[in-house]
Amino acid sequence: MTPRVHTLSNGVRVVCDPLPAWQTVALSVVAGRGARFEDAARSGWSHLLEHMVFKGAGGRSAREIVEVIEAEGGHINAATGYERTSFQVRALKHGLDLGSAVIADLVLHPTMDAHDLAREKQVVGQEIAEAADTPDDLVFELAQQAAFDGQPLGRPILGTTKSIKGATPETLGAWRAELYAPHTLVVSAAGAVDEDELLKLAERDFGGADGAGLPAALPAAFTGGTRTQAKRLEQANLVLLLPAVGVLDPDYFALRLLAEILGGGMASRLFQEAREKRGLAYAIDAYSETYADTGVLGVFAGCDAKDAVELAQVTAGELQALTEPVGDTELARAKAQLKGSMFMGRESALARAEQAAGQVLLFGRTLDPEAVAEEVDAVTPAQLATLTQRILAERKTAVAILGPKAALAAAETFEGALFA
């Protein structure tokens, strides 16, 4: 059964996905705003705010927030992305009442103590430093900067030590009111949940939220470029990005399938050619990263520095080959993998709640899984070839390479081989 969507008088939307046989419930409260809505001076504030609300809210201390949930067998967490921020509680059956009350306090009634903020800035600063010291985090950050240079999507979600330093309890509190405005909020529950109970709790806990909030994000543009850093590492880390389509584009599922065929699994073209046949990489993977209006087709590889140039050539060659229609067997396998991951993900109540919230934010409704599977099945070999041609026609790449100097030439090689 497709989950039903209700709207409170203040614009908060509520999604209920009851699963009668389940003994657990998951609640996800998602704001359709995140790091993409920050200017440079407030870079990282959405993530910092997500940290801060857990330091005290609704009269509970940081310790009490966690203890009250765990005492009932539950777990609480949160996550900040570019386009949304989510707060989640997983609990035993009948844990919805407490979970809703606690999350509402986090979202609407945080304490914002100055001493807590000073400490949390130190914690986030350590996260920023850790990311800079972790090669397979840093290389993705460099690639994102190259892809969307000078735009919010090109800045790290964590921000910088300079940008988070400027936050005060007052300015961060004002940012909270803009970020978590009612028209951006979706309260989504799945599992052992009763629809009438959920609606009553949503009205009790979120019905009083107010504020106009932030406007829609400005359109993003894939600029492209190169970011290389010579570093004394045992292996080279490469991220190769191409401009692609967003979630709302008719070719969205074609993009997902294209990434699967290119490098989504052990049967994929890159895994078989670069790793199994040539032994050029210990790890290689293709993926799509999508936002509402844009996206990227990406390849990550870890390899010996001396193999980086050849690996870039191989990757370019496999991309060019996809401008021709793929075989029916290869496409059928990719479709099976994509549908398998989608349906297996729905075996988790939290994944169902998060997925439903995301769909409501993007489409204003939830999507029938069977209808989605039909859309995947409808993708043709010709559609994949046309999409690849469309991607390459922009003649833009964003390349990040981190590792020994011998690997850095792979950046120029990739673009040269791709557009020769």
Tokens of 303: 């390899």
- Asked whether residue 184 falls in the same domain as residue 268, the answer is no
Whether 342 is covered by a domain: the verdict is yes
What would the pLDDT profile of 105-133 be if each residue is shown by its tens digit?
Answer: 999 999 999 999 999 999 999 999 999 99
Q: Is 169 exposed, middle or buried (0-12, 13-18, 19+ CB in 10 A)?
A: middle
Block residue for tokens 């709790």: 201
Domain boundary among 143, 171, 206: 206
Calpha distance 13→29 (Å, rounded): 10
Q: What 8-state DSSP symbol labels residue 347?
A: T
Sheet strand arrangement including 75-80: 4-7, 13-18, 185-191, 24-31, 85-92, 75-80
- Asked whether residue 10 falls in the same domain as residue 153, the answer is yes
Q: What is the DSSP string of 243-274?
A: EE--TTSTTHHHHHHHHHHHHSSTTSHHIIII
Give the number of other CB atoms < 10 A from CB of residue 140.
21
Give the number of other CB atoms < 10 A from CB of residue 319.
24
- Asked whether residue 234 falls in the same domain as residue 104, the answer is no
Residues with a catalytic annotation lie at: 50
Residue count of the chain, please give it.
Answer: 420
pLDDT above 90: residue 420:
no
Q: What pLDDT does 56 receive?
A: 97
Virtual torsion, Cα 127, 132, 136, 139, nearest 10 deg:
130
- Mean pLDDT over 387-408 rounds to 97
- Mean pLDDT over 236-257 rounds to 97
Q: What's the whole-number average pLDDT of the chain?
A: 96
- Asked whether residue 15 falls in the same domain as residue 131, the answer is yes
What would the pLDDT profile of 130-160 be if each residue is shown by its tens digit?
Answer: 999 999 899 999 999 999 999 999 999 999 9
- Asked whether residue 200 falls in the same domain as residue 257, the answer is no
Q: What pLDDT does 2 receive?
A: 76
Q: What percentage of the chain has pLDDT greater than the value 70?
A: 100
Task: Report the CATH number that the domain containing residue 393 is assigned in CATH.
Answer: 3.30.830.10
Domain boundary among 177, 206, 235: 206
Quick check: 394 and 222 in contact, CB under 8 A?
yes
- Asked whether residue 94 falls in the same domain as residue 18, the answer is yes
Whether 378 is covered by a domain: the verdict is yes
Q: Is 361 exposed, middle or buried (0-12, 13-18, 19+ CB in 10 A)?
A: buried
Quick check: 46 and 37 in contact, CB under 8 A?
yes
- Asked whether residue 314 falls in the same domain as residue 352, the answer is yes
What would the pLDDT profile of 368-381 be if each residue is shown by its tens digit?
Answer: 999 999 999 999 99
pLDDT band at 1 (very low <50, low <70, confident <90, very high): low
Q: What pLDDT does 145 receive?
A: 97
What would the pLDDT profile of 316-354 be if each residue is shown by its tens digit?
Answer: 999 999 999 999 999 999 999 999 999 998 999 999 999
| Contacts of residue 107, Cβ cutoff 8 Å, sequence gap at least 6 | 29, 31, 53, 87, 180, 185, 206, 209
Domain boundary among 146, 171, 206: 206
- Asked whether residue 377 falls in the same domain as residue 411, the answer is yes
- Asked whether residue 132 falls in the same domain as residue 229, the answer is no
The helix or strand, by DSSP H or E, that contains position 5, with its residue range, turns out to be: strand 4-7
What would the pLDDT profile of 25-78 be if each residue is shown by its tens digit?
Answer: 999 999 999 999 999 999 999 999 999 999 999 999 999 999 999 999 999 999
First to last CA, the chain: 51
Q: In terms of residue numbers, what domain contains 95? A: 4-206
- Asked whether residue 91 falls in the same domain as residue 32, the answer is yes
Calpha distance 387→401 (Å, rounded): 26
- Asked whether residue 322 falls in the same domain as residue 184, the answer is no
Calpha distance 333→271 (Å, rounded): 15
